[in-house]
Amino acid sequence: MPIYKAPVEDTLFILNDVLGIERYRNLPGFADATADMLAAIVGEAARLSEEVLFPVNLSGDQEGCRRREDGSVTVPKGFKAAYDLYREGGWLGLAAPEEFGGQGLPYTLHTAVGEYMSSANMALMMYPGLTQGAIAAILAHGSDEQKRAYLPNLVAGTWTGTMNLTEPHCGTDLGLLRTKAVPNGDGSYRISGQKIFISAGEHDMSENIIHLVLARIEGAPEGVKGISLFIVPKFTLTEIGEPGDRNGVSCGAIEHKMGIHGNATCVMNYDEATGYLIGVENRGLNAMFVMMNEARLGVGMQGLSIAEIAYQNAVNYARERLQGRSLSGAKQPDKKADPIIVHPDIRRTLMTIRAFTEAGRAFTLWTALQSDIAHRSDSEAGRQAAEDLLGLMTPILKGVLTDKGFDHAVMAQQVFGGHGYIEEHGMSQYVRDARIAMIYEGANGIQALDLVGRKLAMNGGRAVMALFKEIGDFCEENRGDDRLSGYTKSLKKGLSDLQAATMWFMQNAMAKPDNAGAGSTDYMHLFGLVVLGYMWAKIAKTAEEKLAAGAPDNADYLRNKLITARFFMERIMPETALRKARIETGADSMMALDAAAF
């Protein structure tokens, strides 16, 4: 049977000690987030995740969602009850504005607890996850009336939201989309068309579903400049704002997917459904990007979440499974065999995942903190710097944490041997669930292109230069410290590979754009290695300082951080040289083959 225990100690260590969240007390919502309050909320989220969400995860995968002939959809057994407890706990509105019923607490905290919940039940958490996206878009682009009409129920979770972008012939290239919007004359529109891959598109857990739909207003320009965003409620609202008539939107089918079976991924048919323009006509893509950006952080976090639960189960199995003997002599001579955790190759697997999840957690929370600063700081310079960093980190966090999250779920599955291939142990589910995170919210190849093609050069490279300086300064400041020089030396080497690769793009990609595309995925991962390495260096510095300050209660925990940091620097960080070498070979051999020759 799978297990899960939320890594509360680690979360609090990162928030309090590594990121020093109390230094941000001046930000709105942060004053309430005292160390005690953080511990209480994180602890409560851990309990909910372990005891409510997790127990229906495996069964939800096995049962899946069912669509009836009338188009209604039933979620797996236990999902609604679990969602109700989540909703009643106010978790959806944790970081939402108090004005609409939220608690206004830091987005960083919302992210911290979100990790646990997605570990415990990724498919279930996608229902409120999509709702978060809808809330963000309405907050940013909705009229006051729309905010009043939709936000309180979305924030409370009594209604849920969706994002409707993809059509059968267009995913990445939204300029091709065909769904039509015809004005009714009263300010509303009739929306017609078909959307596919709509997560949480139809289900029986909420009183209403608020679809955010990209469509083209009759006569609008072709391409991306003619796309508008609409609110299309499953039930249009009555005069007093309650769900009223059934709107012309329905679930035509549930997709048969590799994983996330507990989430209803729907084909949605819009047949003259009543929709309401949100934001400016023909500027729908901009409005949608608000949802997308936040969603990308959430998806990156899913990579971390699944790697974490897969790791925990692999550790558990490796401690219990007796098979073979240690190469350095029997460790449990009284038993017929040693637990497989004595074998270096199993250690390699577990250490590799651990070195990723612990730094990945710091990376995620550090990035979420930039979002809080960007949205809440009263210093314009502070907001700008945070926004720069957030924009730069978003594709890296999404692309790297989901690629690695999947890889690490696969590695954890391998620890189980044949038992990992059997559905009952849950490892297959983690692998199958993690796979989608590499694809949705912009496939990882698109993230890499966003990084190389947009984020790098934005504002003359301001964001990337600031980060290189920050990491360089960190190495410089600490290189005289014997306890830290091992870490900073590796980090500095990684940074220098990253800087060289960046320079290579500047010199070679302007004249020949294919050179940028050819190196984009390697660059994204190179960047991810350096950022994760930076997280490890910060974690190591914090641990060394706390150990030096006396014998803390958690001395073992801190010493284990140093071991894992060293493992990361020795085993993982050298990959930067390979990534750089690949980038510098350019596009020639990649593009030489005729398309027909493949």
Q: In the range 183-242, which residues lie near a copy of itself by CB under 8 A?
A: 196-197
What is 178-203 written as a DSSP string?
--EEEE-SSSEEEEEEEEEEEET-S-
Q: Write out the two tokens for 384.
A: 């700008």
Least distance CB 401 / a copy of itself (angstroms)? 16
- Of 429 and 478, the one with the shorter C-beta distance to a copy of itself is 429
Of 336, 380, 381, 550, the one binding a copy of itself (CB under 8 A) is 336
- Of 31 and 555, the one with the shorter C-beta distance to a copy of itself is 555
Report which secondary-structure segment, H or E, holds 61: helix 57-63
Choose, from 167, 294, 308, 441, the residue flagged as catalytic. 441
Q: Write out the two tokens for 333.
A: 């001579």
Of 32, 387, 514, 545, the one binding a copy of itself (CB under 8 A) is 514
Least distance CB 365 / a copy of itself (angstroms)? 22
**DSSP class of 247:** P
- Determine the Cα–Cα distance for residues 472 and 481; give it in Å rounded to an integer: 15
Least distance CB 245 / a copy of itself (angstroms)? 31
- Restricting to residues 545-574, which ones interact with a copy of itself according to CB under 8 A? 556, 560, 563-564, 566-567, 570-571, 574
Q: Using CB under 8 A as the criterion, what x/- string covers residues 347-366 for binding a copy of itself?
A: xxxxx--x------------
Of 102, 517, 528, 533, the one binding a copy of itself (CB under 8 A) is 517
Per the annotation, the verdict on 50 as an active-site residue is no
Of 188, 414, 485, 496, the one binding a copy of itself (CB under 8 A) is 414
| Residue 39 near a copy of itself by CB under 8 A | no
- Restricting to residues 110-169, which ones interact with a copy of itself according to CB under 8 A? 166, 169
CA atoms within 13 A on the CB side of 358: 28
Q: How far, rounded to the nearest angstrom, does the alpha carbon of residue 243 sit from its chain's CA centroid?
A: 31
- Determine the Cα–Cα distance for residues 78 and 82; give it in Å rounded to an integer: 6
CB 526 within 8 A of CB 400: no
| Residue 318 near a copy of itself by CB under 8 A | yes
Q: What is the CB neighbour count within 10 angstroms for residue 571? A: 13
- Restricting to residues 415-444, which ones interact with a copy of itself according to CB under 8 A? 417-418, 420-424, 428, 431-432, 435-436, 438-440, 443-444
| Residue 47 near a copy of itself by CB under 8 A | no
CB neighbour list of residue 128: distance below 8 Å, 6 or more residues apart: 83, 86, 87, 91, 92, 157, 160
- Restricting to residues 461-480, which ones interact with a copy of itself according to CB under 8 A? none
| Residue 5 near a copy of itself by CB under 8 A | no
Size of the site for a copy of itself (CB under 8 A): 94
**DSSP class of 339:** B
* Residues forming beta bridges with residue 209, ordered by sequence position: 160
Cα distances (Å, whole numbers) of residue 426 to 56, 318, 439: 12, 15, 21
Q: Cα angle at 514 between 509 and 517, to 5 degrees?
A: 90
Least distance CB 282 / a copy of itself (angstroms)? 18
| Residue 344 near a copy of itself by CB under 8 A | yes
| Residue 337 near a copy of itself by CB under 8 A | yes
- Determine the Cα–Cα distance for residues 401 and 164; give it in Å rounded to an integer: 24
Least distance CB 431 / a copy of itself (angstroms)? 7
Least distance CB 509 / a copy of itself (angstroms)? 9
- Of 17 and 575, the one with the shorter C-beta distance to a copy of itself is 575
Of 445, 468, 483, 500, the one binding a copy of itself (CB under 8 A) is 445
CB 398 within 8 A of CB 469: no
Report which secondary-structure segment, H or E, holds 66: strand 66-67
> Catalytic residue positions?
441
